[in-house]
């Protein structure tokens, strides 16, 4: 928590980012702070948004210890999610809940099918494979690459840092939503990375496979009440598992 607060403070003090140096910069022991704003979107307006005020604004910290361990930290929610790649290229995860000093460990066993493939996306935040499928790619100075892509009613504009192996900025537009992701701050500091990860690992953890034998645990019950496990209401779903409203139209699933 202390480190997150520091990052938030620093992000306010640093107005801009300068991308000097080689593309071969240090990619490990990295802490990066991002801002994520979501706007309602309409093609009919000149700016594409109904308002300059985001409907939802969040920030998060991205921590990369090495090629096999990254962590996404959401201070507003008091949640962190670390992802670890094993020797046989499978991915495990631990979700940390700051308020309770508790964690839930997800073996690869506990994760959705495809999680192993997603390391390509977890490590640099946006999958290199996905970037390589984009419609246009333009390299700029200072190791930046601009990607543009449109598909299925969605569009992406991404400024990518080869030095950090991370996005600097991304604008994603889908049907009625525009999401802007901006890198606000970064630093290489392995000591700070290790300290933060060690602080998290001190939380009391429960294997997700063991939840069924520990439902009397007040923390787990609280997680359910808080919506960590949420129950759908309609009771009708299509073949893909999408919730349907009573009139048969797909309901928003979260």
Comparison of 3 and 200: residue with beta carbon closer to another protein: 200
Q: Give CA–CA dist 175/156, Å, rounded.
A: 13
* For another protein, the closer CB: 50 or 217: 217
Round to whole Å and give the CA distance between 139 and 93.
34
Phi, psi of 63 (to 5 degrees): -120, 130
Cβ(220)–Cβ(59) under 8 Å? no
Give the shortest CB-132-to-another protein separation in angstroms: 13
| CB-nearer residue toward another protein: 15 or 241 | 241
Backbone angles phi, psi at 245, to 5 degrees: -80, 170
Least Å distance between CB 161 and another protein? 15
Residue found under tokens 């930046």: 144
Minimum CB distance to another protein, residue 22 (Å):
25
Q: How far is the CB of 62 from another protein (least distance, A)?
A: 9
Cβ atoms of 160 and 140 within 8 Å: the answer is no
**Whose CA is closest to 43, among 153, 126, 166, 192?**
153
| Spatial contact of 206 and 223, defined as CB atoms under 8 Å apart | no
Looking at the Cβ atoms of 15 and 169, the one nearer to another protein is 169
Nearer to another protein, 86 or 140 (CB): 86
Bridge-based pairing of strands 136-139 and 102-106 is unpaired
Q: Are 48 and 38 in contact (CB under 8 A)?
A: no
Looking only at the bridges linking them, the beta strands covering 91-97 and 79-85 are antiparallel
**Shorter beta-carbon distance to another protein: residue 21 or 154:** 154
Least Å from the CB of residue 141 to another protein: 26
Minimum CB–partner distance for residue 20 and another protein (Å): 27
């Amino acid at each position: 928590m202390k480190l997150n607060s520091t990052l938030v403070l620093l992000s306010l003090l640093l107005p801009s980012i300068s991308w000097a140096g080689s593309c071969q910069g240090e990619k490990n022991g990295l802490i990066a702070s991002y801002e994520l704003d979501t706007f309602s979107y309409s093609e009919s307006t000149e700016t594409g948004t109904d308002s300059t005020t985001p409907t939802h604004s969040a920030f998060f910290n991205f921590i990369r210890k090495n090629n096999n361990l990254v962590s996404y930290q959401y201070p507003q929610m008091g949640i962190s999610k670390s992802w670890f790649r094993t020797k046989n290229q499978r991915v495990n995860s631990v979700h940390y809940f700051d308020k309770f000093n508790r964690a839930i460990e997800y073996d690869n066993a506990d994760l959705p099918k495809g999680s192993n493939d997603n390391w390509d996306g977890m490590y640099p935040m946006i999958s290199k494979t996905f970037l390589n499928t984009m419609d246009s790619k333009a390299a700029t100075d200072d190791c930046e690459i601009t990607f543009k892509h449109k598909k299925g009613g969605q569009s992406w504009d991404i400024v990518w840092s080869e030095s950090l192996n991370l996005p600097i900025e991304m604008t994603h537009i889908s049907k009625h939503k525009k999401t802007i992701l901006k890198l606000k701050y970064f630093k290489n500091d392995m000591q700070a990375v290790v300290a933060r990860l060690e602080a998290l690992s001190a939380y009391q953890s429960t294997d997700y496979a063991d939840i069924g034998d520990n439902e009397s645990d007040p923390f787990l019950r609280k997680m359910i009440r808080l919506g960590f496990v949420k129950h759908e209401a309609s009771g009708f779903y299509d073949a893909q598992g999408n919730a349907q409203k009573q009139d048969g139209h797909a309901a928003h699933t979260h």
